[in-house]
Amino acid sequence: MNTLSKTTTRNLEATVAATGVRFAEGKVSIALSDGREVSLPLEHPYLGWLKAATPEQQAHWQVEPHGFAVYWPDLDDGIEVVHLLWPDPLS
């Protein structure tokens, strides 16, 4: 069970935003507005769609309004910042 309350989740969404993306060494890293960078292995079960993408598709991403998520239009999928900050990312 997720230990973050709805209030905490809303506060995270309001104060931390995605600012960039990079791929290296089999991981996707999301840069955050507070200076942190969260990296996840592309082997993660929930990232199969991103692992299977071509390098061109991986490189074509956009930050959603207010930075709440990163979206890959060619793949019609994305990653929300709040999910990156949960104790068990993407669970």
Global confidence as pTM: 0.79
Can you list the domains of the chain with their CATH numbers?
Answer: 6-85 (3.30.2020.40)
Q: Can you give the pLDDT at residue 91?
A: 57
Residue 40 has pLDDT above 50, yes or no: yes
pLDDT tens, residue by residue, 47-79: 999 999 999 999 999 999 999 999 999 999 999
The DSSP code for 66 is G
Q: Please, are residues 18 and 70 in contact by the beta-carbon 8 Å criterion?
A: yes
Q: Can you give the pLDDT at residue 89?
A: 60
Residue 41 has pLDDT above 80, yes or no: yes
- Percent of the chain at pLDDT above 70? 80
Average pLDDT rounded to a whole number, residues 13-18: 79
CA distances from 76 to 14, 15, 39, 72, 87 (A): 24, 25, 21, 6, 26
Distance CA 41, CA 80 (A): 16
